[in-house]
Amino acid sequence: MTLRARAWRQKATCLPVSKPRSIWPCAPVLVVALTLRVKLWIERTSRVGEVIHAPRIGIEAARLLAAAQADAAVGVVEFDGLPAGIAADLCEAGPRLVLADASELFAAVRTIRPAKSWIATQDREGRHP
């Protein structure tokens, strides 16, 4: 699983890497700590599978990830920039999750298939034409 969190955006994008569709939907799940109005706008304009609104994105993202696999390896893009509060919440709500830096992996995958073009070709269920 991959987690991308940036403090100034207060969002975490949760993407499955190798989970069967029955455990995790194919489309990304976005956890946001923004206003409900912004959540509704994201739902209308994005291609994510689900938008979860929560005041503490680390706790909600950890619950989501741990529900799919309690001891999941979680790659965090820009791990060194992950705010301490979000990291603490991830560890609190998902004590068996294993966090690691996934910046190089994300960069390598992105050069092969840019994320924006990949997501733009998906429908709401995460299928590609």
pLDDT at 7: 41
Higher pLDDT, 127 or 96: 96
**Stated pTM of the model:** 0.69
pLDDT at 5: 46
Dump pLDDT digits (tens) for 100-116. 888 888 787 766 555 55
Q: Does residue 59 register a pLDDT over 50?
A: yes
For 46-55, the CB contacts below 8 A with 24+ separation are: 47/119, 47/120, 47/122, 47/123, 47/124, 48/13, 48/119, 49/25, 49/124, 49/125, 49/126, 50/25
Looking at every residue in the chain, the average pLDDT score rounds to 76
Return the CATH class of domain 2-120.
alpha beta
**Dihedral of the CA atoms 68, 71, 72, 78 (nearest 10)?**
130
**Paired tokens of 99:** 């966090």
